[in-house]
Structure 1
Amino acid sequence: MILQQEMRSPKRSKDKRSSILYNYYAGFSPEFVEDVVKRLEMNSDAVIMDPWNGSGTTTQVAMRMGYSAIGFDINPVMVIVAKARLLNCTSVVRKRVLDNLESLMKMGLDLQTNRLLDDPLESWLEPESAECFRNIERSIQLLLIGTKYDVIYNTKSLSHISHMASFFYLALFRTLRKFLTTYVSSNPTWIKIPSSKRARIHPSSNEVYEELQNQVYEMIDIVNFMGMDANRDNSQIIQIERASSESIPLPNSSIDLVVSSPPYCTRIDYAIATSPELALLGCSMEGEIKNLRDHMIGTPTIINERSEIRSEWGQTCKSFLRAVEMHSSKASKSYYYKYLIQYFDAIYRSLQEINRTLVESGYCVIVVQDSYYKDIHNDLPKIFCNMADSFGWTVLDRFDFHINRTMAGRNNRIRKYRSSSMATESVLLFKKEK
């Protein structure tokens, strides 16, 4: 019962959704991370990591509390979002933001550039509108990053992108999203591409710049509301970078605490969910986004049909997989079984990396959610505990939160197999023993 006393839920409360800089489906509340760190009484020199950093809640809270913070995400969009959250908005910085906004708008309007060949933004926008967004993006780079323009998506490391530059990239992400609401489907994690060029939209440059200005002012208000001011200690390590959880670029035994939530086993396509932002970073909506999807955990695409069930995954996982393989419904064996093996293989490899980077007696706090395949329960919390046991980790605590609304609940066909679409979100506290 180490964590449970006075612990706030990891779920973000509805009344605070309006204060979110970037509405990412995956994520937990800042209050939850703060409670975890306080409850575990971490030393002041502790290093906290999130290998699935997403929108950057763990790194933002850790930095605000004075700890060194390291976060990784394979999706460059989320790396930039997480960096933007770390902008230390003192009154001096707020003035710099507004000065930079004025300079960016002037530079973007003055730029005389050729259109980007096969600009992925033209998947949704008419060429003139795409060029307007691209010129603003070029201006962010020329004013806040470097002397020449680079396609950010093709850059392996994003360490050169400052919190200020990330803030303006996020403002541009939000501006683009404002114009693409018509393409958001009933599934909030999926955005459609127009079936014909005639269906693309054509916001004017005045509309785009006006919306960009609105977004920057709104973001400043959100940052103020969130209390983002932080007094950085020179000894603090703050690193947010592009990397896979299956290959964490850190030395052995370098992390004291992991607080994270891996992609759930629900086939949410997080690459498609961020496809407009990826397009703004120069990611092709054909080959390059397919490659990113293939390398993300939980992707609905099948890339490794040779994966095999490993004994380290535990009996619960093996029994679940065998039940799926034998299920009578269509594609159970030909697709879903392969998808699930691929998912568990990636999760186990990621836990191996977490184990490698954790110090002895280090802690790992993971938020996971169970799910169903048809009528078969996928007890993901128990499977994580079984996998952790293979490393010799100890389960110090677990507590559950029941969720009434899930993505599965949007699918009426589940009623054929079960009456409820409720799920259980579990907080698992592990300790790496000596």
Structure 2
Amino acid sequence: MVKMFIRDYPERTGVILDPFAGAGTTLFSAQECGFDSIGIELLPVGEFAVRARQAVGRLSFGELREAASHLGRISFEASPIDEAHSFKHLTITRDAFPEENERKLNAFLTYVNERVEPEDVRVVLIFAAFSILEQISYTRKDGQFLRWDRRSGRVGATYHKGRVLAFEDALFEKLDRILADIRGRGGAAARGASEGTTMELRRGSCFEILPTMPDGSVDLVISSPPYCNRYDYTRTYALELAFLGVGNGAVMELRQSLLSCTVENREKIDRIRQVYVEGDRLDAFEDAGRAFRSSKALHEVLAILEEYHGQRKLNNPGIYRMVRNYFYEHSFVIFEMARLLKEGGRIYYVNDNVRYAGEAVPVDLILSEFAEAAGLTVETIYALPGGKGNSSQQMGRHGRCEVRKCVYCWEK
């Protein structure tokens, strides 16, 4: 889909921006289509995925196959473990693995970090282990949180996820798949990359990075922001964050730096305002805030949610605050994207509408209002023919009443 949007753009070269870069779908698609790209990503999970894919692109099939074959002759049950390379648990990940799997994971990490060269091979092997954490654990990603299997011994865990794969089974299945992907691309995974293109990934918050970028510096923006759906990415990816060495305090800071999409997010408007003060751009801060305050559709929704909050109809008291902050913060993102676009540039934005206590929140129309206030034209809102049903918490009372899943196309 990303390549389709790029190829629909009249210019054949330029710069593509993704302010919520994730694992780099837009960045790698841009590279294959001959465009330079800039990505912004807050979570180390996405950054590591991008780094691993770049490493795969520099490797030959033979190099990685030889490394994987050598691993197959090692007994991780008996290999030494260095605590410096071991999995560092967060409070919320303790007891996630069967003891045997955790022991083998730590032996694997010790071996690869101390014995494997070159670095690109080491990165890809570590990425393979990074990719199987859920399969070898007592957990399953379930939207807003990790669901725990009762075999973990966690208090209140009643779920049974079925088979937990042995470490070696999961690891070599993943490596086989990586090797098949490389061979299917004719050698290197980045074989389709155009010569001379640049890809830059900037780690941090888009609220702090976007305002520092020059006017009219990008041709296209193609992105999918966090949805207004209560998903806490720092909990969903807790195992992966722990694997990468992110500590408890850093996880909490990441959670509060994300675009507000979970009830645990605190208001960050003072923090955003400070960025504009430091950049001597208070007028731009006021413009974005004015778009938020003037949206009649948004404030109609907020008034209903506030009423439901008072009547205790919302299944979490933080939902009203989360929805309000989601749109307030989003107004700054949209105004910055509009400023960065060249004349004739486009934004493709993938997002879902949501529903709380039966009240539909038309995210697509509200964000498109912000885009118009920022000087953009709403060209099209593409809606999937099949929408998204209610969450399980709302299904009993409101039934399967779908909301739109959309891609917005805005043009400057």
Normalised by the size of structure 2, how large is the TM-score? 0.77
Instruction: Say if 2:270 is the partner of 1:311.
Output: no
After superposition, where does 1:9-408 map in structure 2 within 5 Å?
Answer: 32-44=1-13, 46-86=14-54, 93-102=60-69, 111-114=80-83, 119-120=89-90, 122-125=94-97, 129-142=101-114, 166-180=123-137, 182-184=138-140, 187-188=142-143, 190-192=145-147, 198=153, 207-224=166-183, 228-248=189-209, 251-252=213-214, 253-284=216-247, 286-297=248-259, 298-304=261-267, 310-313=289-292, 314-327=295-308, 328-330=310-312, 334-406=317-389, 408=390
Alpha-carbon separation, structure 1, partners of 2:269 and 2:196: 45
- Distance in 1, matches of 2:75 and 2:199, equals 31
Q: What SS does the corresponding residue of 1:38 show, helix, strand or coil?
A: helix
> Alignment partner of 2:250: what SS?
helix
CA contact (8 A) 1:73 1:243 kept: yes
> Shift of the alpha carbon at 1:169?
3.3
| Structure 2 SS opposite 1:178 | coil
Q: Is the 8 A contact 1:140 1:169 kept in 2?
A: yes
**TM-aligned CA deviation for residue 236 of structure 1:** 0.8
Contact 2:36 2:197 in 1 (8 A): yes
The verdict on how the C-alpha distance between 1:387 and 1:107 changes in structure 2, with shifts beyond 3 A counting, is: farther
Cα shift at 1:68: 1.6
Aligned residue number for residue 29 of structure 1: none
Contact 1:246 1:350 in 2 (8 A): yes
The CA distance in 2 between the partners of 1:244 and 1:107, in whole Å, is: 42
Structure 1 position 210, deviation (Å) = 4.3
Count residues with an aligned counterpart. 374
Cα distance per residue 1:108-145 (max 9 Å; x no partner): 77554236596446441366643532343355545679
CA RMSD across the alignment: 3.6
Gaps of 5+ in 1: 1-31, 147-160, 201-205
C-alpha contact 1:245 1:353 (8 A) present in aligned 2 = no
C-alpha spacing 1:215/1:88, structure 2 compared with 1 (3 Å): closer
Q: Give the whole-Å Cα distance in 2 for the aligned partners of 1:140 and 1:94.
A: 18
The SS at the match of 1:184 is strand
**Percent of aligned pairs with the same amino acid:** 18
In structure 2, do the counterparts of structure 1 residues 423 and 141 end up closer, same or farther at CA, with 3 Å as the change threshold?
A: farther
**Are 1:255 and 1:358, in contact at CA under 8 Å, matched by a contact in 2?**
yes
Query: How far apart, CA to CA, are the structure 2 residues paired with 1:70 and 1:141?
Result: 30
CA shift for structure 1 position 428: 1.3
Equivalent residue for 1:156? none
| Higher deviation after alignment, 239-248 or 311-320 | 239-248
Amino acid at match of 1:296: L
State the AA in 1 paired with 2:140. Answer: V
Counterpart-to-counterpart distance in 1, 2:75 and 2:136: 22
- State the SS of the aligned residue for 1:192: strand
Q: Give the equivalent residue in structure 1 for 2:405.
A: 425
C-alpha separation between the residues in 1 aligned to 2:117 and 2:348? 35
Question: Are the aligned partners of 1:60 and 1:86 in contact in 2 as well (CA < 8 Å)?
Answer: no
SS at match of 1:236: coil
The answer for unaligned runs of 5 or more in structure 2 is: 158-164, 274-287
Q: Which amino acid aligns with 1:79?
A: E
| TM-score, normalization by structure 1 | 0.74
